[in-house]
Amino acid sequence: MRGVALLLLVASAALEWSGPLHAQTRAIPVVGFLSTASPASRGGEQLAAFHGGLRQEGYTEGENVRIEYRWANDDYGRLHTLAKELVALRVAVIVAAGGHVSALAAHDLTKEIPISFTTVTDPVKSGLVKSLNHPGGNATGTAGLTSELDPKRLELLYAMKSSAAVVGVLINPNRPGSRFNYATCGQRLIG
């Protein structure tokens, strides 16, 4: 979350300098929080970590930062509309929680507002950044790169239990990209 706080700091400075020199009030930056989850589900954990990171950097909601929350409640079809609302509000930064689907929803709508995403499996492959070393553009965040490890995990499972002929994988079939990741994993293991 240090990246989110840094983006917030930059956005805050930009807001301060963008007003007239004679202005007496400081603009409070507005952060857009776009999540695939709901506050009652795993979104609560995301939110606690987000607020903790902001506090570490000296930001407190309602005092020196305002946060506009948009929750998709696991309905990925709503993400585009929710991201569009945040862009229309002209937030200083969008925090895209929930992997590549929320990050892409925001990224498709703005190239100006900074986007800080959480754990995108492969941000280069998904088109969010140009490279891991030099992301370019307006998006940054953490890369999971864990799908490349899935074939190795299955190999290790097979080495430990060679009699296992069938392996079950629990995925959310409605999450974009999930079928591709596991289909590719199975092909690499078999072929």
With beta carbons less than 8 A apart as the criterion, state whether 182 and 146 touch.
Answer: no
CATH, range 2-143? 3.40.50.2300
Contacts of 190 (CB under 8 A, 6+ apart): none
Predicted local distance difference test score (pLDDT) of residue 14: 43
Residues contacting residue 84 through CB under 8 Å, at least 6 positions apart? 109
pTM above 0.85, yes or no: no
Tokens read off for 119: 């754990």
* DSSP helix/strand/coil, 111: coil
Residue by residue, pLDDT tens for the chain (191 residues) are 455 444 444 444 444 444 444 445 568 999 999 999 888 876 677 788 889 999 999 999 999 999 999 999 989 999 999 999 999 999 999 999 988 899 999 999 999 999 999 888 888 888 999 988 888 999 999 887 766 677 777 788 878 877 777 777 777 666 655 655 555 555 444 44
Task: List the domain boundaries for the chain.
Answer: 2-143, 147-190
Tell me how far apart the alpha carbons of residues 143 and 33 are, in angstroms, rounded to a whole number. 19
Strand pairing partners for 65?
61
Residue 99 and residue 36 in contact, taking contact as beta carbons nearer than 8 Å? yes
Give residue 147's pLDDT: 66
Q: Say how far apart CA 140 and CA 119 lie, in whole Å.
A: 10
Q: How far apart are CA 187 and CA 133, in angstroms?
A: 29
Residue 55 confidence (pLDDT):
94
User: What gap in Å lies between CA 26 and CA 17, rounded to an integer?
Assistant: 10
Smallest Cα–Cα separation from 172: which of 82, 85, 42? 42
For residue 30, give the 3-state DSSP assignment: strand
Query: What pLDDT sits at residue 182?
Result: 53
**CA 168 to mean position of chain CA atoms:** 27
Q: Contact 47/71 with Cβ under 8 angstroms?
A: no
